[in-house]
Amino acid sequence: MRLMDWLDERLAIRQLIKVMLTEYYVPKNINFLWSFGVLVMLVFAILVVSGIFLLMYYKPDSHLAFDSVNKTIMMDVEYGWLFRHTHAVGASIMFLVLFIHMARGIYYGSFKAPREIVWITGYILFVLMSATAFTGYLLPWGQMSYWAAQTITTLFEKIPFIGPDLVVWIRGNYIVEDATLTRFFALHVVFLPLLLIVFTAIHLYAVRIPGSNNEDGIELTKEEKKHGKGIPFWPVFMAKEFFVMSVFLIFFFYLVFYQYKFAMDPINFTPADYLQTPMHIYPEWYFLAFYEVLRGFFFSQNLGLIAFVLSMFIAAFLPWLDTSPIVSGKNRPIYKILFWIFIADFVFLTILGKLPPTGLYAWLGFAGSLVYFAFFLALPILSKIEKKKVAGGR
């Protein structure tokens, strides 16, 4: 304990531990879905560690990148395949964990006052994570990587006036080329992870001020939580968390060792060719729903693009769309129905995103996109109804 005393004198470390861990009380009435925040941290740590090892052999050069991944790392480096599979599966599973973490927040109203900053920083983290996944996806320099980068950067061309010049500026070339690869590399390994860490810190700090939401959505004071209705984050909540992490890691390493192929598209084992687009191109599964919204408005390119951008960001505005005084979805019968329609629609869009965009599928995609937005547009109306109900039907 002498070290603790020494540190405490210089860094007030006991105070920090109290605020962040031992005197941060988590309500008792939460279920296992609240564990996903810590799971996100776990997956992020796995990605950082496996990424550093990949970094030691990866060559950010359009002539060398493909072989440095598919030959050096996969064949020559001892256990290189393990780090690659861990990183690829980790990136994919990160989004599953994030989606569940976000869906829990939406269902139980965890975005509502006084937790708007928690929701906003969380949403920024989601966007940053998407950018990290996108820039990282280019690095193996396979066909799918290349064409994903080519099409997504082309989206910027549609910005009025500056679009075409902006695309050349982002790519550093008229097409996706070496300059694009090296700058995506820099963003993926330094800039974006740094931002992720900074925003994670703000996110964790922000949640410690109002405290965690709970299943009933009824605020508990710190005193109530301290005396009977809550448990300290450390060590009591984390004790349960370690169990959840263990189960998660069994599932995770099952995927890494036996099912890693789902995170790696076969087309990406062909080196990038800027004169040949693959027959079918589609993003990784976690972007399929948004991609389907882009395709959903198949009759108008501009509408599709606007819808796509909106679908990526509309959820950030949830605290101002849903102003109902009832916090938890558990106590909101109509919201419950809307929520599950929304979740089903998201899954539906994800499935459609992988199917060819022709005939009936095109129309289904359009309908699915409308339902996606309908959820968000219905919230202000529902809020009004619920406000009346709470006020006694006046």
Dist. CA 92–CA 8, nearest whole Å? 40
The amino acid occupying position 236 is V
Dist. CA 91–CA 286, nearest whole Å? 10
Counting contacts by CB under 8 A, is residue 271 touching another protein? Answer: no
**Segment interacting with another protein, rule: CB under 8 A, options 25-33, 263-271, 294-302, 368-376:** 294-302
157 or 224: whose CB is closer to another protein? 157
Contact (Cβ atoms closer than 8 angstroms) between residue 184 and residue 139: yes
For the bound state, the minimum distance from the C-beta of residue 155 to another protein, rounded and expressed in Å, comes to: 7
The amino acid occupying position 132 is T
Residues in contact with another protein, counted by CB under 8 A, come to a total of 34
For the bound state, the minimum distance from the C-beta of residue 150 to another protein, rounded and expressed in Å, comes to: 6
Counting contacts by CB under 8 A, is residue 298 touching another protein? Answer: yes
Q: Is the bond preceding residue 114 a cis peptide, omega within 30 degrees?
A: yes
**Segment interacting with another protein, rule: CB under 8 A, options 30-38, 47-55, 257-265, 275-283:** 275-283
Tokens representing 41 are 């941290």
Dist. CA 388–CA 394, nearest whole Å? 6
Q: For residue 132, give the DSSP letter.
A: H
Query: Which 304-343 positions form the footprint of another protein (CB under 8 A)?
Result: 304
Counting contacts by CB under 8 A, is residue 157 touching another protein? Answer: yes
For the bound state, the minimum distance from the C-beta of residue 163 to another protein, rounded and expressed in Å, comes to: 11
Tokens representing 32 are 């296992």
Q: For residue 272, give the DSSP letter.
A: P
- Mutual angle of helices 116-138 and 178-186, in 10-degree steps: 140
For the bound state, the minimum distance from the C-beta of residue 281 to another protein, rounded and expressed in Å, comes to: 5
Q: For residue 227, give the DSSP letter.
A: I
Tokens representing 71 are 């030959």
Residue 243 neighbours by CB under 8 Å, 6+ apart? none
Dist. CA 162–CA 266, nearest whole Å? 36
Measured in Å, how far apart are the chain's first and last C-alpha atoms?
62
Query: Which 179-208 positions form the footprint of another protein (CB under 8 A)?
Result: 179, 183
**Which position among 61, 172, 202, 319 is part of the footprint of another protein (CB under 8 A)?**
172
**Which position among 278, 306, 315, 317 is part of the footprint of another protein (CB under 8 A)?**
278
Counting contacts by CB under 8 A, is residue 147 touching another protein? Answer: yes
**Which position among 1, 3, 275, 360 is part of the footprint of another protein (CB under 8 A)?**
275
Contact (Cβ atoms closer than 8 angstroms) between residue 388 and residue 321: no
Dist. CA 38–CA 40, nearest whole Å? 5
31 or 276: whose CB is closer to another protein? 276
**Which position among 170, 306, 343, 378 is part of the footprint of another protein (CB under 8 A)?**
170
Counting contacts by CB under 8 A, is residue 360 touching another protein? Answer: no
Site string for another protein, 216-255 (x = CB under 8 A): ----------------------------------------
For the bound state, the minimum distance from the C-beta of residue 160 to another protein, rounded and expressed in Å, comes to: 14
Tell me how far CA of residue 134 lies from CA of 129, 145, 255, 327, in angstroms: 9, 9, 21, 34
Cross-strand bridge partners of residue 271: 142
Counting contacts by CB under 8 A, is residue 301 touching another protein? Answer: yes
Tokens representing 23 are 């005197």
Counting contacts by CB under 8 A, is residue 177 touching another protein? Answer: yes
79 or 169: whose CB is closer to another protein? 169
**Which position among 174, 258, 391, 392 is part of the footprint of another protein (CB under 8 A)?**
174
For the bound state, the minimum distance from the C-beta of residue 358 to another protein, rounded and expressed in Å, comes to: 6
Residues contributing to the site for another protein (CB under 8 A): 147, 150-151, 154-155, 157, 168-175, 177, 179, 183, 274-281, 295, 298-299, 301-302, 304, 356-358
